[in-house]
Structure 1
Amino acid sequence: MKPSVPIVRRGSALASQLGLSERIFATSEDRVLARSIDAGLDRVEEGLLREVGFADTVADVTTRYLLNAGGKRVRPMLTLLTAHLGSGVTEEVVIAAEAIEITHLASLYHDDVMDDADKRRGVPSAQTVWGNSVAILAGDLLFARASQLMAGLGEGAIRLQADTFERLVLGQLHETVGPGPEDDPFEHYIRVLADKTGSLIAAAAQTGVIFSKAPGELEQPVADFGERIGVAFQLIDDVIDLSPQPQTTGKVPGTDLHAGVVTLPLLRLREAARSDAASAELLERLERDVVGVPFDPRDATASLVAELRDHEATASTLAEAHRWAREAVSALGPLPDGSVKKALTRFADTIVERSS
């Protein structure tokens, strides 16, 4: 019943791996902020281990499964960071950060069912171990637990959680159904990314402002930052999916394509294929041999993935990711100058540097 999964603890090294390193924490004020975030992340991790647990054995094993497998804790880190625009890492901020991360964790269970994913965080996906029904129910339990935590923070927190959950579901629905005949495929794709990824990152940044009692006028700028950097994050993931270095990315090149997941490089290639014979020929081979075709280590489709990686479609995706990251930083204009603004800017830079 219980698969062997190494429990990965997250702590003081986390801020550094996310770009909040000594490169930007040069002053004594910066270093105080870094230490506070690290201490807050330790508190969040303790809370996650406590909250993602159930008296029922089956529920307890399944809901802890992906938590124990690790994760970067990007969202709680953003909550703790923006909290320093107000009174810092209060108990309410920590609870909100836990709720946001549990919401994210729940969405992973459901995503893996929708995508029929074999692995998550280096271990077999929950639906591979227990089947779709148990994986869905484990995700539902985690969504319920996150809602309980938010309910303890008041009506505003409940509304934010509900609005974010609605966007998460709509994003998945629109991705599943695909664009309609009246929809621009690129606008549709970006909207899916904004809902599926951007909305929760926006909520993470927003809760830090709200529950640290920072000035209310800072709430929308950090939410805008979070949503835009979420889109940039996913666009970079589209590029990383084509990376020839699986030992670095943790993914076989073309994993998303083999799973039938539409990515921006593929959309851009389809656009180019309308007027360029070489692009049309590459698209035909990809859609015949790679897109939606299960990966087989014995085949030679890696060369097709490499051709897409070298195509202008991928270069334009990378440029689009950089544009969204720049717009995320621009949204920070109303924030006061200081360590928080500098750290958020560096975080945006780190997101797009992942592809290099």
Structure 2
Amino acid sequence: MANPTLADHTWEPELRAALAAVEDGLVEATRSDMPFIAEAARHLARPGSRRLRPLLVLLAARFGDPGAPGVVPAAVVVELTHLATHYHDDVRHETNASVAVLIGDFLFARASRLLAGLGPRAVRLQADAFKCLVTGQILETTGPSDGHDPVAHHLRTLAARSGSLTAVSGRLGALTSGAPEEVADTLAVYGERLGVARHLAAELRSPIHGAPTLPVLLSGDPTAPAMTEARHEMLRQCAAAREALTPLPTGPARTALAELCDTVVQTA
């Protein structure tokens, strides 16, 4: 998947510094006295990897005090959680299962330690998001019930599995920066729609036959009409994300969030 960052000219020095601080935080969080764990964790958290969720935290914080002490730790927390889910996905796909469990749990533990310093509400928000993410993984594993629309089931699964962490990223950025509650609600809606759109864009790039991707679910095979219909759904999700930004104050942060929608469309 293409890097979800924006064009370099849109970054001011403060945001660049915050992104660098997130990288430093990830390096620190993946330290371990056990070389095997440290190496495995750092491999996935290596610099230059995609950092959409931390980016959302930092942009959300622009609607409050972006320099507040909890903002960068919140960005590190959501990325550690995202990385941990990658390792646990290996368990579900039965590759290096025991290693994946250990590394994933290690990252979850480090995220939890940081999260505890952000206060009880941040802990509850992250716990709710993680519950939603796991629910999405269960929905993906079990598939739709008899008589239920598989396409609707798939979109519900993506909202839970892919949208939960992008949604809570906006909420945590708003919370830790002291932004108004209505801003947090807006960013959560935006984040969920953006998360779904990005996953659909990935499915358009790799519509594997037989896999539960939208193009396949629409026709049983990634045919041209199915791909077109799936692309329309991805565009609809992007439009919904952009529309969700309407209540936010105009300015560089809102513009950057809107540009992320454009990036999704360009990478599909």
Check whether TM > 0.5: yes
| Match for residue 115 of structure 1 among 76, 84, 93 | 93
Look up the match of 2:68. Answer: 90
TM-score, normalized by length of structure 2?
0.93
| Match for residue 140 of structure 1 among 105, 127, 137 | 105
Amino acid at match of 2:63: L
Cα shift readout 1:315-336 (whole Å, capped 9, x = no counterpart): 1101100001101111111101
Amino acid at match of 2:103: A
* CA positional deviation for 1:70: 4.7
Larger Rg: 1
Amino acid at match of 2:238: A
Question: What stretches of structure 1 of length at least 5 have no aligned partner?
Answer: 1-13, 26-30, 117-126, 243-253, 271-282, 284-307
Look up the match of 2:196. Answer: 231
- Matched-pair contact (CA < 8 Å) for 1:20–1:347: no
TM-score, normalized by length of structure 1?
0.71
- Matched-pair contact (CA < 8 Å) for 2:23–2:47: no
Amino acid at match of 2:205: I
| Match for residue 214 of structure 1 among 179, 194, 200 | 179
User: Is 2:262 the partner of 1:312?
Assistant: no
Look up the match of 1:71. Answer: 49
Q: Percent identity?
A: 40
Stretches (4+) displaced over 2 A:
19-22, 56-65
Look up the match of 1:288. Answer: none
CA distance in 1, matches of 2:82, 2:173: 16
Look up the match of 2:5. Answer: 18
| Match for residue 191 of structure 1 among 156, 161, 165 | 156
CA distance in 2, matches of 1:46, 1:134: 25
* CA positional deviation for 1:187: 1.3
* CA positional deviation for 1:338: 1.1
* CA positional deviation for 1:20: 4.4
Amino acid at match of 2:40: T
User: Is 2:239 the partner of 1:326?
Assistant: yes
Look up the match of 1:276. Answer: none
Look up the match of 1:266. Answer: 216
- Matched-pair contact (CA < 8 Å) for 1:89–1:212: yes
| Match for residue 130 of structure 2 among 160, 165, 172 | 165
- Matched-pair contact (CA < 8 Å) for 2:80–2:108: yes
Q: How many residues align?
A: 266
Name the structure, 1 or 2, with higher relative contact order (CA <8 Å, separation 6+).
Answer: 2
CA distance in 2, matches of 1:313, 1:43: 43
CA distance in 1, matches of 2:33, 2:212: 40
Report which of the two has the higher share of helix: 2
Distance 1:221 1:63, change over 3 A: same
CA distance in 2, matches of 1:109, 1:147: 16
Cα shift readout 1:240-277 (whole Å, capped 9, x = no counterpart): 114xxxxxxxxxxx4xx4xx53100000113xxxxxxx
* CA positional deviation for 1:21: 4.2
CA distance in 2, matches of 1:20, 1:153: 31
Amino acid at match of 2:246: G
CA distance in 2, matches of 1:182, 1:155: 41
CA RMSD of aligned residues (A): 1.7
